Structure 1
Amino acid sequence: MDTGPSSCPDLTIVLLGHTGVGKSASGNTILGRPGFVSKRSFKSVTTQISTQSGPVLGKQISVIDTPGIIGSTREIQTLCKDLLKFPGPRLFLVVIKADRFTDDHERALDAALRAIGDCELSNCYLLFTGGDDLDKTSLDEYVNEDPGSCLKKLVDKFEGRYHLFNNKNGTQEQVRELLEKSGHLRNSDLGRERRERRERRVVLLGLPGSGKSSSGSTILGSEWFESVAGFNAGTTETASKSARVEGFWVQVVDTPGFTGQVLAPRKLFEEIMKAVVEASPGPHAFLIVVRFDRISEADIKLFKMLPKLFTGEASKYMMVLFTHGDALRGRSMDGLIRSNQHVSALVSRCGGRFCVFDNTKKGNRVQVRDLLDKIDQMVEANGGEHYTSDVFKEAHGLGDQIAMRWRQIGEWFRRKLRNLDRRRDGYTPLNQPDTTELYKMD
């Protein structure tokens, strides 16, 4: 292991703690890649000190992973003493699991603090893992649940220097918060990183129940968008969330489902236009979300309506995102697309671009990387540009934008809407067949 000045990282992070608390997984979370071997096991997976380095949030960071400290105390004490001989910022992370604190864990923490030494305690943070197991309980609530517990006394020793990681499906935003909190990421660093970061702005379109909100959460790596199952499911207002994902700063804009049963048609169209404004200066991709295992008449009408809503070169920025990939069961998505003329026509209209998501596995980042790679290829094919409609170049307010867009869509849409707007808030009971009037074409 090289800890000498020739390495010259901007920051060295050392992970310490008991076996099985998530040290290696935390190192991978910090690096944003699988640099260390991390898996469930009855015995220690990490058997020796190892180092991985890489760019993190605009900094070159070196992460040192260590074996369980009980049984390796002398080796780890030597490591800590060697680190003190060289200049440069360092951060010691004493790792414990949020859902388990036994006598062995307490002894391991005491050994870690002795190895670090009192003079380095200010550079030491308590890192809780298992953030996915806390559910809706905050870390502060968990720590302060029992004021007389050994855990609370330990936290008090760190004088508030503690943080929580979700190594299962959390985003790199938790790494940013740790570095900011510990003083290793300043505003000037953030400004540089923002100038250098690659941005991707994505708008989700589709029917209620197609999996838009779940897909948005999968992309961002956490439950950012509320997804509700049921007959009345559906997002009713445009929502936008952002996070750092796979080296990109990704903004996802979720839109209401295309149906007159949840929103009045005019309100629905207003929300869709708002989504384009929300993704200002313009989206890099429109993802048409389709549940592949259940293509309905409403889906087919949606496929036909999209060219009316987005004229010009919008199709160059469109991609189909098929959901419920868990139902594929080894079948070929290409074959399924060819077997349905309407789906095949939609994919062809999108330049043959499609991706498949299994939203039951939000921790599967391979599917997210595949999507971002395809969006990257699409952006490159579009000359690095995002979608920009002339409608939005000259409009100063949302009302003007909507009015101009209405004129573009034409008489067919206005005539249908006049009929539907006579009803209460655009809603008609499910047993009336003309609720799909919005989708009918002349």
Structure 2
Amino acid sequence: MCDTDEMTINLLLVGRTQSGKSAAGNSLLGSFDFDSHLSPSSVTTCCRLGCSCRISGFTRRNSHELALRVHVMDTPGYPHSSLSKEEVQQAMRAALAQHFGDEGLHLALLVLRADLPLCEEETHTIQLVQELLGPTWKNFTAILFTHADKVEEAGLTGDEYLHIASDTLLNLLSSIQQRYIFVDNQANTLQQERKTILRKIMEFIRQNSYQVLLVK
């Protein structure tokens, strides 16, 4: 939180290499803070914090209009092409303590590609999130499906996509109370979708009674 007419939300991006994590972070911020491009190896090698501009009149709380600022922490993909699990986890813990140590984490966004099936690499990433956030991780985690444009190209709606999803993915969604968002990776739609995505994230945070997680 900031002053009485402004709210800051702290978000953590976690996902495997080439999941669209950094691109999703740019979409949330409405900027190009994070390096994002096609690569056969992991692009992000350290944690980076991006901060949005003030979004006036974004939400209301206790009958009071609030502006919004978004803080997004991009993290190295896991499994990483050059860093061990321990190195990735250590970097994430240090960055969370440095940037969100006093305010806490509102939500971790587990980034999954909608155009690819859930694979073993994602299960390793989920385990990393569990170990990082601790026993209450399910209360502070949502799934961000990137490449939603590919789902549309296949003639599927979000509900139809989930109807044919694997039991592993459905069980994961059930465990985190069906908190998920589809993100279109087409550059010309980022600004159009941004407020819709942020409003969904704010709804998740409201459902969690604006609680924060302090990662030690």
The answer as to 2:137 corresponding to 1:314 is: yes
Q: Is the 8 A contact 1:284 1:317 kept in 2?
A: yes
The 2-side partners of 1:198 and 1:243 are apart by: 12
Structure 1 residue 317: deviation in Å?
Answer: 1.4
Q: Alignment partner of 2:143: what SS?
A: strand
- Give CA deviations for 1:209-266 in whole Å, capped at 9, x if unaligned: 0011101111111211111211013311000010124541110100111114321322
- Give CA deviations for 1:159-206 in whole Å, capped at 9, x if unaligned: xxxxxxxxxxxxxxxxxxxxxxxxxxxxxxxxxx95421111110000
For 1:42-57, list aligned pairs within 5 A.
none
The 1-side partners of 2:185 and 2:202 are apart by: 21
- CA 258–283 in structure 1, closer or farther in 2 if over 3 Å, else same: same
Structure 1 residue 286: deviation in Å?
Answer: 0.5
Q: Is the 8 A contact 2:47 2:73 kept in 1?
A: yes
The answer as to 2:10 corresponding to 1:201 is: yes
- CA 215–362 in structure 1, closer or farther in 2 if over 3 Å, else same: farther
The 2-side partners of 1:210 and 1:250 are apart by: 21
260, 275, 279: which is aligned to 2:100?
279
318, 322, 337: which is aligned to 2:162?
337
Q: Alignment partner of 2:52: what SS?
A: strand
For 1:235-254, list aligned pairs within 5 A.
235-244=44-53, 245=55, 246=58, 247-254=67-74
The answer as to 2:24 corresponding to 1:231 is: no
Q: Which residue is equivalent to 1:214?
A: 23
The answer as to 2:171 corresponding to 1:348 is: no
The 2-side partners of 1:209 and 1:380 are apart by: 30
Q: Is the 8 A contact 1:253 1:279 kept in 2?
A: no
Q: Alignment partner of 2:9: what SS?
A: strand
TM-score (norm 1): 0.42
Q: Which residue is equivalent to 1:19?
A: none
% identity of equivalent residues: 23
The answer as to 2:150 corresponding to 1:327 is: yes
TM-score (norm 2): 0.82
Q: Which residue is equivalent to 2:63?
A: none
Instruction: Tell me which amino acid in the other structure corresponds to 1:365.
Output: Q
Structure 1 residue 362: deviation in Å?
Answer: 5.3
- CA 385–300 in structure 1, closer or farther in 2 if over 3 Å, else same: closer
Q: Which residue is equivalent to 1:164?
A: none
- CA 240–305 in structure 1, closer or farther in 2 if over 3 Å, else same: closer
Structure 1 residue 382: deviation in Å?
Answer: 2.1
Unaligned runs of 5+ in 2: 59-66
Q: Is the 8 A contact 1:321 1:357 kept in 2?
A: yes
The 1-side partners of 2:22 and 2:179 are apart by: 21
- Give CA deviations for 1:256-289 in whole Å, capped at 9, x if unaligned: 1111432132211111212422223211110000
Instruction: Tell me which amino acid in the other structure corresponds to 1:227.
Output: S
Q: Alignment partner of 1:236: what SS?
A: coil
The answer as to 2:187 corresponding to 1:361 is: yes
- Give CA deviations for 1:44-85 in whole Å, capped at 9, x if unaligned: xxxxxxxxxxxxxxxxxxxxxxxxxxxxxxxxxxxxxxxxxx
Structure 1 residue 302: deviation in Å?
Answer: 2.7
Q: Which residue is equivalent to 1:289?
A: 111
Q: Which residue is equivalent to 1:171?
A: none
- Aligned CA-pair RMSD: 2.1
Q: Is the 8 A contact 1:235 1:255 kept in 2?
A: yes
Instruction: Tell me which amino acid in the other structure corresponds to 1:272.
Output: M
The 1-side partners of 2:120 and 2:180 are apart by: 21
Q: Which has the higher strand share?
A: 2
The 1-side partners of 2:19 and 2:80 are apart by: 16
